[in-house]
Structure 1
Amino acid sequence: MSNTVEKDLVIIGAGPAGLSAAIYAQRALLDNVVLEQQSIGGQVILTSEVDNYPGVPHTDGFTLTDAMQRQAEDLGATIQLENVEKIERDEATGTFLVRTPEASYQTKTVIVSGGATARHAGFEGEERFGGHGVSYCATCDGMFYRGKRVFVIGGGNSAAEEALFLTKFADRVTMVVRKDHLRAQAAVAKQVEDNEKVDIRFNTKIASVDGGELMSSVTFEDTLTGRATTENFDEGSFGIFVFVGRVPASELLGDLVELDERGFIITNDRMETKTPGLFAAGDIRQKPLRQIITAASDGAIAATSASAYLGQPIEG
């Protein structure tokens, strides 16, 4: 049976939002713990190039979040690799019980900053060839496609940036975009359009893939006419990278939070959810921009709000 540990604050997720929250919680002298189920730093550690975090030019996700972790721990933060299995709230006392296989944490406040995972595109064969030709991480798998052809599904910033990254390895990168334009920021879109190794198929989606042990054919569908065409390749000569958005890790929270139509947590500008004492920060919440800097900002605000909720506001 797990032990029960009392805390002022439990932070769930150790990405930029959670690490920022830990830094601000330490400044407020809150007895807190950060719980992370996978890798400290979150999805950002897979990002090979970060050029838009102010004051830290030309870095990568691992280096940046490693510095955040060290800063939090230097201030006394406790970060533990534990998988949160359940979150309960005692309505009578207003306290939360956060359960992991190792312990149960009784706390007055919780910040949920679990981020989001890759959304699947939904084409036939996607699950079958997952990890065997279909990937969701260019940084992880790009090297396996040296000298080969890759298709990148998506038209947003992530898809465009990953397409550019894949040109380091692949002979040809084809972006498959459902609409008639890229949704990426203008500067990123221009880089894609100017890169001679990248071509774009607009008004197109991948309907299915097929093959033996590895993929050998792709069926494309025109999103305007519905017309399907199948192209055949040598087995294992190409890969498909999917970048069509993220799925927020909000399923544990149940009725404790209000979600938008995509499953992201709705908060106010103080990161407060509909449940008193429960805050959300980072990519898990509804917001117009998902970047490292906005996640860090969310974490700082959430910890400050939690401190105020506990009657210990941070000055300055």
Structure 2
Amino acid sequence: MEKVIILGTGPAGLTAAIYLARANMNPIVIEGDQPGGQLTLTTEVENFPGFIDGITGPELMDNMRKQAERFGAEFKRGWVTEVDLSKKPYRLQVNGIGEIETESLILSTGASAKLLNIPGEKENIGRGVSTCATCDGFFFRGKKVIIVGGGDSAMEEANFLTKFASEVVIVHRRNELRASKIMQDRAKENPKISWELNQTPLEVTAGENGVTGLKVKDNETNEEKIIQTDGIFVAIGHTPNTSFLNGQIDTDETGYINVIPGTTETNIPGVFACGDVQDKKYRQAITAAGTGCMAALDAERYLEGNAVHDWSKSL
């Protein structure tokens, strides 16, 4: 029987692990298939307090993990396939580990990149289609690439890709971008970046050697054309990783976990949610870390019999 299990090793999960380990709660941290979360796919992190000159995402996550381990957090590699939250103790089935029982659970499983779901996309992942510029940008040195998206992540990845690619084309289905002004300005000032706005992606074209272009439709004229390219990077948002819960936790219509305002408590006593799996508004490393701290403190109070919410009035 474990006191507390943490699912996920992004900023939220690792911060929760640090706090709980320091409180002698002996947390078990289950790593999924992407230890460190989305931040491991980011190059420079310039807005995390305390790093004047910035820090790379992988380095920041590695530091946080080592800090948690220093205080006694135990990390186990595995993938949760099933969760039973119908009664205590809560039970988790984990590939490579087996069944684990726990008194409390912290969900910090984050979110996964969305795809366009157009013909030619999935079958060409790894053959020119990617959702991670920092992972695959090196392979497109001196080539022309496309970024699909209009948010901050799309602008960041576009700028990053100009370090390798000869030309980066930003394709967005609207005339206006969702990205913050500073990120838009950086992209617009980059001479290697060009724009194809108000264009809807229709199909990924490919040949024997991989991607050759992206077929798009002009939303004003309905004219279709193929933008020639060697690679396509999809940056259109994320889906919260909650499907493994099988509806046992209350979520909103898009799958993000609902928590009681001012806490990280879910609809099930002893189960807490933090990070991007419950935050679709801010989605920043520092806010994720903050909610990880909250989850740890909420879990600690719960285990000590002093939960911040009186469940007897809700059930």
Q: Would the TM-score normalized by the shorter structure come out above 0.5? A: yes
Instruction: Calculate percent identity across the aligned residue pairs.
Output: 39
Give structure 1 stretches of 5+ with no counterpart: 1-5
Query: CA shift at 1:156, angstroms?
Result: 0.2
- Partner amino acid, structure 2, of 1:304: L
1:257 aligns with 2:257: no
Secondary structure of the residue aligned to 2:158 is helix
d(CA) in 2 for partners of 1:100, 1:228: 47
2:11, 2:120 → 1: CA distance? 34
TM-score, normalised to structure 1's length? 0.91
Instruction: Determine if contact 1:163/1:175 at 8 Å carries over to the other structure.
Output: yes
Task: State how far apart, in whole Å, the 2-side matches of 1:219 and 1:39 are.
Answer: 31
| Counterpart pick for 2:5 among 5, 10, 21 | 10
How far is the alpha carbon of 1:144 from its aligned partner? 1.0
Instruction: Output the amino acid matched with 1:56.
Output: F
Distance 1:142 1:199 in 2: 17
Question: Match of 1:163?
Answer: 158
Cα distance, 1:204–1:122 mapped onto 2, change above 3 Å? same
Aligned-pair CA distance for 1:312: 6.2
Deviations 1:165-185 (A, max 9, x none): 000011111100111112111
Contact map agreement 2:212 2:231 (CA 8 A) in 1? no
Q: What does 1:43-192 correspond to in 2, within 5 Å?
A: 43-57=38-52, 58-91=54-87, 94-101=88-95, 102-192=97-187
- Which of 213, 221, 231 pairs up with 1:239? 231
Residues 200 and 216 in structure 2, CA contact (< 8 A), matched pair in contact too: yes
Aligned partner of 1:295 in structure 2 is: 288
1:296-315 alignment runs, 5 A limit? 296-311=289-304
Is the 8 Å Cα contact of residues 207 and 219 (structure 1) preserved in structure 2?
yes
CA distance in 2, matches of 1:140, 1:272: 35
The two structures, once aligned, show a CA RMSD in angstroms of: 1.6
| TM-score, normalised with respect to structure 2 | 0.92
Aligned residue in 2 for 1:3: none
- Which deviations, in whole Å up to 9, do the C-alpha atoms of 1:235-265 show, x marking residues without a partner? xx61100000011110111232122222111
Residue 313 of structure 1 deviates from its aligned partner by 6.3
SS of the residue 1:187 aligns to: helix
Q: Who is 2:312 aligned against?
A: none
Partners of 1:59 and 1:15 in 2: how far apart?
A: 15
Distance 1:276 1:313, change over 3 A: closer
1:86-106 Cα deviation digits (max 9, x unpaired): 110243xx3201121313221
Q: Which residue of 1 aligns with 2:240?
A: 248
Instruction: Name the structure 2 match of 1:284.
Output: 277
Q: C-alpha deviations, 1:187-215, integer Å up to 9, x for none?
A: 11100111111112111122112232222
Runs of 4+ in 1 over 6 A off after TM superposition: none
Question: Do the aligned partners of residues 258 and 210 (structure 1) sit closer, same or farther apart at CA in structure 2, a change above 3 Å counting?
Answer: same
Residues 24/163 of structure 1: CA separation in 2 closer, same or farther (3 Å cut): same
Matching residue's letter, 2:223: R
Evaluate the alpha carbon distance shift between residue 299 and residue 88 of structure 1 in structure 2; reply closer, same or farther with a 3 A threshold: same
Out of 21, 25, 31, which is 2:26 matched to? 31
1:221 has 2:217 as partner: yes
Rounded Cα–Cα distance in structure 1 between residues aligned with 2:180 and 2:143: 27
Counterpart secondary structure, 1:168: coil
Q: Is the 8 A contact 1:45 1:62 kept in 2?
A: yes
